[in-house]
Amino acid sequence: MRISTIAHPSPLGDLLISGNEKFITAILYADLNTSLVDEAIEPSDAPALLRRCATHLDEYFAGWRRTFGLDFQQEGTAFQQRVWQGLLKIPFGQTGTYAELARQIGSDKSSRAVGMANGKNKINIIVPCHRIIGASGNLTGYGGGLWRKKWLLDHEKRIAHGVLSLF
């Protein structure tokens, strides 16, 4: 099935939403994935699922959405898939550590491998890799840049505590 990509504005810069009629396959930051920008099509020409994803993201940024009811699929090893599924279990507005996620997926001693798998996640925001922080509580790596990770975590904390965020 053909993969399409649309560019969609957000408070974090344009997002590139890729997928087909059945699955979202990526949500990437346009400024970090410039080769895909040229492939973006008009939203009106894109599969309905991509437009629905854009609406869900708008609702998330507006503070109205905490979960996403979208089908997505990304290629990865069985271990990576377990890590990405584990990320989905971290509640909105909360964080976890690499070691906690490793324990959760049954790989107690693989926090570094969890970090590597976390970094391979291509479905930003919906698969919330931004919710993983270092054991010390410090923000650690995020493919979109630490400033975006901080923004996302602050955004979710404000909403979780009843304060709507503003673009």
- Structure-block tokens of residue 12: 């974090």
How many angstroms separate the Cα of 86 from the Cα of each of 5, 12, 42, 83?
A: 26, 24, 33, 5
What is d(CA 82, CA 95) in angstroms, rounded to the nearest whole number? 18
Closest of 56, 77, 79, 85 to residue 68, by C-alpha = 56
CA dihedral 25, 160, 100, 69 (to 10 degrees): -30
- Structure-block tokens of residue 88: 């989905």
- In 3-state terms, what secondary structure has residue 139? coil
Catalytic residue, from 46, 90, 105, 129: name it: 129
Chain centre to alpha carbon of residue 61: 13
The answer to whether residue 53 is catalytic is no
The catalytic residue positions are 129
